[in-house]
Amino acid sequence: MSSQGKIAIIGSGHVGSHCAMALAAGTVSSEIVLIDKNEAKAHSQALDVSDALSFLPSTPRVRAGSYADCADADIVVVAIGEPRLPGQTRLDLLENSIKMLHELLGVLKPLDLSGPVITITNPADIVADYARRGLALPRSKVFGTGTLLDSARLIRILSEETALSRADIGALAMGEHGDSSMIPFSQISLGGRPFEAFPNLDRSRLLERTRQSGMEVINGKGSTEFGIGQALAVLCRSILQDEKRVLPLSVLLEGEYGQSGVHCGVPCLVGRNGIEEVIELALSPEETAELSRSCDIIRKHIAKAQEIAPSDALGVGNEQA
């Protein structure tokens, strides 16, 4: 892996291209490679991002490439798939996403990837699990953005409702990146005060607003892109600069929170080696039950993914589950 950082992004649509722009504008890495089945599209997106850098003080190299570029990349980002349509849940994208991912993993697995693999494709938790199994890599190396974007939306909403600066709000969403996500209100800090210090805040309303934020954007403009771009940039910077940040990501649980064999959004310590530790928060009994219900939904769809395209077709046995 290079010392300056090479990031390969597979998928050059709305999400992949905006991730590239966020990474380039923030000078997160010295090289960004866009990869797509439509080579002309990847080339054009790379040119467009590269043109924008002429107005910035730093100019990382942005180019189109091939799957071979993933072999020595410091980070590989999987951003393939179809965008959600108005009225669709992320789980509605399962079948097409798994079929595309199965094909992609067949190409990536022989490359002996050296860096972490971050999945963005929806449904996020099921895709992260499927990619980890298919690549036969440990949980530290294959994970999804999970509830990182959900948490950003929650912080925005809390700032709107309290008039506090976002910098003074500590909050996160956990569980599925989807309609069963939950908020551990016991862990929220608002200007150094607990959630209960703000009696006008309604828990049900906050949870519903957080869950529906993505669809609100889709209904208005057809896709989400800027938020996930910045979320990915923060995550990649934490890896490449070994920042040891705690971020809510979709990682395989191995007993944490009483859950095993399932990916879901939980706070993780992130550094150069990817996921370095899963942080266990002291959730209330009610919050633990909510997280468990979300994990049950994810677990059911992980099983469906295996029915669509079994991971053992890639030569992965049950020991990778």
pLDDT digits (tens, 9 = 90+) for 279-319: 999 999 999 999 999 999 999 999 999 999 887 666 543 33
- Residue 289 inside a domain? The answer is yes
Domain boundary among 81, 114, 144: 144
Tell me, yes or no, whether 174 and 302 share the same domain: yes
| Residue 228 belongs to domain with CATH number | 3.90.110.10
pLDDT digits (tens, 9 = 90+) for 93-147: 889 899 999 999 999 999 989 899 999 999 999 999 999 999 999 999 999 999 9
Q: How many domains does the chain have?
A: 2
Higher pLDDT, 317 or 151: 151
d(CA 53, CA 14): 19
Give CA separation, 189 vs 70, 159, 192, 245, in Å.
40, 12, 5, 17
Does 18 participate in catalysis according to the annotation?
Answer: no
- Give me the pLDDT at residue 315, please: 53
Q: Which of 18, 177, 263, 301 is catalytic?
A: 177
Q: What is the CA radius of gyration of the chain?
A: 19
The pLDDT of residue 91 is above 80 = no
| Percentage of residues of the chain with pLDDT beyond 70 | 95
Helices in 84-147 by DSSP H: which ranges? 94-108, 124-135
Q: Nearest 5°: phi and psi at 155?
A: -65, -40
Domain boundary among 144, 177, 203: 144
The pLDDT of residue 35 is above 90 = yes
Tell me, yes or no, whether 81 and 220 share the same domain: no
Domain boundary among 144, 168, 187: 144
pLDDT digits (tens, 9 = 90+) for 223-255: 888 999 999 999 999 999 999 999 999 999 999
Q: How many other β-carbons are positioned within 10 Å of the β-carbon of residue 38? A: 11
User: Global pTM?
Assistant: 0.93
Tell me the pLDDT band of 2, cut-offs 50, 70 and 90: very low
CA angle 130–254–131, rounded 5-degree value: 15
Q: Are 237 and 243 in contact (CB under 8 A)?
A: yes
d(CA 285, CA 245): 27
